[in-house]
Amino acid sequence: MECTGQNSPQGNHTTLMEFILIGFSDVPNLQGFLFGIFLLIYLFILMGNNLIIMVIKVDPSLQTPMYFFLTNFSLLEIFYVSVTVPRLLLDLCRQYGNISLLACAIQMFLFLILADTECFILTAMAYDRYVAICNPLLYPVIMNDRLCIQLAAVCWTTAIPIHTMFISVLFSSTFCGCNQLNHFFCDAPPVVQLVCGDVFRIKMLLYMISTLVVSIPSFLIVASYVKIISTILKLPSATGRAKAFSTCCSHLTVVTLFFGSGIVVYFKSMTSHFTGVDKFLSLFYTIFIPMLNPIIYCLRNKDVMVALEKFLQKWIFL
């Protein structure tokens, strides 16, 4: 029986020791089909991102800050999908989704950290494009190896203390009553709905963290692209404008897809009851968009395409 999603006041309830991830058990006839689809997507994401990392590593022409951050982004995507998809595949196989509170906390902690890290790395990539297009003569000086490593380190570590605090607050609360999560992984909004008593403090903390993590990177990315587009439009030749804009297309496409889908689903679920529709929408930013990223960065980036062709000719076809 599915939970109503209402927070129960503390009373004569049994304290929960585990959750049940409903996942896609409401469509039992599609379990095998969904397993096959998600497995193929997961393997494609792993192979696509690993291929991008290898191509960048072996091609001397791609040893630039832009592709240093793309390597970080591809590595992040591998970790990001690996937090949720293997567990989803396992639950589809065994047809039940029992998960302990500790395992749920770990999964949520890793997912939130990696999602925030993706926001930060996309912001660093926008800054890199801003410097490359708006200050091309100073680009090698500004985007030196030391700064790139420092930016990457900040991106990978900033979210850790933030979500250590949030996870500590959330999982030190009491869960009681219904233990069913209408989701395929331990995401924050549906778990918060199962906390007993007043959850205003937890919801406000989650809302503030989500707002900061989304609004600050979004503002920096928009500001960067305002300057970038302004600079591109001032270039004298159409060829120069097209070349400059082509270096930003892949990044801008990924930013739009990731931030757009994440904002719609996450903020909608925090302002209302997390529904089955939200669960299906979550597939976009957890699985489908990571699947598109290797395609976007390969097909819309001529440098990567050329390097990929050379890599395949050297290591596979010869």
Query: Could you tell me if residue 180 is left (phi over 0), alpha (psi between -120 and 50 degrees) or otherwise beta?
Result: beta
Q: Could you tell me the residue ranges of all domains in the chain?
A: 18-317
pLDDT at 163 over 80: yes
255 pLDDT more than 70:
yes
Least confident among 83-92, 162-171, 197-206: 197-206
Q: Which CATH superfamily is domain 18-317 in?
A: Rhodopsin 7-helix transmembrane proteins (1.20.1070.10)
Least confident of 34-48, 73-87, 303-317: 303-317
- The pLDDT value recorded for residue 11 is 47
Cα–Cα distance, 36 to 42 (Å, whole number) = 10
Strands 18-21 and 180-181 turn out to be: parallel
Neighbours of 19 (CB within 10 A): 23
What pLDDT was estimated at residue 143? 94
Give the model's pLDDT for residue 157: 96
The pLDDT of residue 193 is 85
Express each pLDDT in 192-248 by its tens digit.
888 887 788 888 898 888 888 888 998 999 999 999 989 888 888 777 777 777 778
Six-digit token pair at 99? 């998960």
**Mean pLDDT, range 29-38, rounded to an integer:** 89
Of the listed ranges 46-50, 54-58, 237-241, 271-275, the one predicted with least confidence:
271-275
Instruction: Enter the DSSP assignment of 60.
Output: G
- Tell me what percent of the residues of the chain surpass a pLDDT of 70: 89
Tokens of 264: 């719609």
Contact 199/192 with Cβ under 8 angstroms? yes
Averaged pLDDT for residues 178-189: 87
Q: Which of 9-18, 111-120, 154-163, 223-232 has the lowest mean pLDDT?
A: 9-18
Dist CA 193 CA 257 (whole Å):
27
Q: Pick the residue with more confidence: 13 or 126?
A: 126
Q: Indicate if the pLDDT at residue 96 is higher than 80.
A: no
Given a cut of 60, is residue 132 above it in pLDDT?
Answer: yes
- Residue 304, pLDDT above cutoff 60: yes
